[in-house]
């Protein structure tokens, strides 16, 4: 039987409506406007399109938003100064530096310079530490989006065998940690993480009730690697060509056409995890604004 297609686009839309309603209420009742700055270095086409989408969403939701475009050869010091400026700006509650950064800039140095209370991407070690020990803080946006999708789809996470393919700091590792937390209903899973040194990736993926793939390898997960009835979350976004109109052709890490015949639930690419990532960035920024103004917040 063909799988249910889990549309991140639809869930994202629902959450964005809730965020918009909260933003309006914050403005009207308290005079607070959530503020987000996105910082882009250079002109990497994927980064340019991600930042554009983030700014567009922030604007639609009624945020105060600023876009900083820096040249590819900007110095580390200049970037640090800009972060310091926004750390001190009371109108800004979220600072996002679009990754990857050019090679001459130390990415960790930049991420660590962001005030953890404005770290809406959830990459600062303070927030990573809080996530690991299960304290409130900023959860990285992509794993956060995956948690929300699993919850909205009513997937049984507690007790499930979850297999994560990929162990990056932005997707694989945090999603594995979050799903194994002693937390209901989206937690309490038994989690296995695969990477390039895993001896037999298929051995693990075939056992998965929930398979999360963030490898960055087009169609690396084929139907024979998936258990009948599994929930498959495809995080991968691979640019495999361009249309005659010059638009990027995208595909996931999962062989969607064949795996959808075997899975019970599957996310498409595009339109799956991607829209959720941006939405959770907005959610984190909204929660940050509330925390800065002493209102009850999920991140404090
Ligand atoms: P990354 O930093 O390149 O990490 C990829 C991970 O996958 C690494 O841990 C790597 O193992 C592992 N891996 C690669 N090939 C593998 C294979 N054949 N078998 C098993 N493991 C393998 O990538 P990332 O930043 O996590 O992103 C992963 C994908 O998700 C990319 O396509 C990216 O564009 C996409 N993404 C999408 C969103 C979204 O919002 N939709 C957000 C973030 C990322 P090693 O550690 O051993 O190298």
Torsion angle defined by CA atoms of residues 204, 208, 213 and 219, in that order, rounded to the nearest 10 degrees: 80
Report, in angstroms and rounded to the nearest whole number, the Rg of the chain calculated over CA atoms: 19
Pair 216, 150 in one domain: yes
The residue behind tokens 């940690």 is 177
Of the residues 100, 125, 150, the one at which a domain ends? 125
Of the residues 93, 125, 157, the one at which a domain ends? 125
Strands 238-242 and 248-251: antiparallel
Q: Which atom of ligand 1 has the smallest separation from the CA of 167?
A: 9
Is 102 among the domain residues? yes
- CATH code, domain carrying 51: 3.40.50.10860
Contact 209, 198 (CB under 8 A): no
Q: Cα–Cα distance between 78 and 30 in angstroms, integer?
A: 35
Pair 152, 121 in one domain: no
pLDDT at 63: 98
Pair 152, 40 in one domain: no
Pair 115, 147 in one domain: no
Pair 154, 96 in one domain: no
- Where b means 16+ CB within 10 Å and e means fewer, 131-160 reads beeeeebbbbbbbbbbbbbbebbebebeeb
Smallest Cα–Cα separation from 104: which of 127, 70, 69, 64? 70
pLDDT at 125: 98
Q: Is residue 27 flagged as an active site residue? A: no
Pair 194, 264 in one domain: yes
First to last CA, the chain: 44
- Mean pLDDT for each consecutive 10-residue tract of the chain (300 residues)? 93 98 98 98 94 97 98 98 98 98 98 98 98 97 98 97 98 98 96 98 98 98 98 96 92 98 98 97 98 96
Which residue among the candidates 55, 118, 119, 121 is catalytic per the annotation?
A: 121
Is 283 among the domain residues? no
Which residue among the candidates 54, 130, 227, 260 is catalytic per the annotation?
A: 54
What is the total count of domains within the chain?
2
Which residue among the candidates 55, 98, 173, 253 is catalytic per the annotation?
A: 98
DSSP string, 212-256: EE----TT-B-GGGS-TT-EEEE---EEEEE-TTSPEEEE-SB-H
Pair 61, 167 in one domain: no
Tell me the pTM. Answer: 0.97
Is 192 among the domain residues? yes
Is 108 among the domain residues? yes
Pair 96, 192 in one domain: no
Of the residues 78, 97, 125, the one at which a domain ends? 125
Q: Is residue 98 flagged as an active site residue? A: yes
Is 87 among the domain residues? yes
Q: Which atom of ligand 1 has the smallest separation from the CA of 277?
A: 40
pLDDT at 65: 98
Neighbours of 201 (CB within 10 A): 17
Q: Which atom of ligand 1 has the smallest separation from the CA of 217?
A: 15
Pair 269, 201 in one domain: yes
pLDDT at 8: 97
Q: What ranges make up the beta strands (E) of the chain? A: 4-5, 35-41, 64-70, 94-97, 161-165, 190-194, 210-213, 231-234, 238-242, 248-251, 265-266
Residues in contact with ligand 1 by the CB-under-6-Å rule are 142, 165-168, 170-172, 194-198, 201, 214-217, 220, 235-238, 273-274, 277
Pair 100, 170 in one domain: no
Q: Cα–Cα distance between 39 and 35 in angstroms, integer?
A: 13
Q: Is 78 helix (H, G, I), strand (E, B) or coil?
A: helix
Is 7 among the domain residues? no
Contact 203, 234 (CB under 8 A): no
- CATH code, domain carrying 236: 3.40.50.720
Is 16 among the domain residues? no
Is 2 among the domain residues? no
If you measure from the C-alpha of residue 22 to the centroid of ligand 1, how many angstroms do you get, rounded to a whole number? Answer: 34
Pair 154, 68 in one domain: no
Pair 145, 270 in one domain: yes
| Ligand 1 atom 21: residue of nearest CA | 195
190 lies in which domain range? 141-274
Q: Cα–Cα distance between 288 and 58 in angstroms, integer?
A: 14
């Amino acid at each position: 039987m063909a799988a249910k297609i889990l549309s991140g686009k639809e869930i994202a839309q629902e959450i964005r409506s809730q965020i918009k309603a909260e933003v309006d209420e914050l403005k009207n009742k308290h005079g607070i406007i959530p503020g987000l700055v996105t910082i882009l270095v250079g002109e990497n086409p994927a980064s340019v399109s991600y930042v554009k989408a983030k700014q567009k969403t922030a604007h639609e939701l009624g945020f105060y938003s600023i876009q900083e475009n820096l040249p590819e050869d900007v110095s580390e010091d200049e970037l640090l100064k800009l972060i310091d400026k926004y750390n001190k700006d009371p109108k800004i509650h979220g600072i996002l530096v679009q990754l990857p950064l050019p090679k001459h800039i130390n990415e960790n140095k930049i991420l660590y310079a962001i005030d953890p209370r404005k770290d809406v991407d959830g990459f600062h070690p303070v927030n990573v530490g809080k996530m690991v020990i299960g304290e409130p803080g900023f959860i990285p946006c992509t794993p956060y989006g995956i948690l929300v999708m699993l919850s909205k789809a009513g997937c049984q996470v507690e007790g499930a065998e979850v297999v994560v393919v990929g162990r990056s700091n932005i997707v694989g590792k945090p999603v594995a940690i979050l799903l194994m937390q002693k937390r209901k209903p989206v937690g309490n899973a038994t989690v296995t993480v695969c990477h390039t040194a895993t001896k037999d990736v298929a051995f693990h993926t075939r056992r998965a009730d929930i398979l999360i793939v963030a490898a960055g390898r087009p169609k690396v997960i084929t139907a024979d690697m998936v258990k009948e009835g599994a929930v498959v979350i495809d995080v991968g976004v691979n640019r495999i060509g361009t249309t005659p109109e010059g638009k990027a052709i995208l595909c996931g890490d999962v062989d969607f056409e064949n795996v959808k015949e075997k899975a019970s639930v599957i996310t498409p690419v595009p339109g799956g995890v991607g829209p959720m990532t941006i939405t959770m960035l907005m959610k984190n920024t909204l929660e940050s604004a509330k925390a800065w103004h002493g209102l009850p917040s999920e991140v404090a």
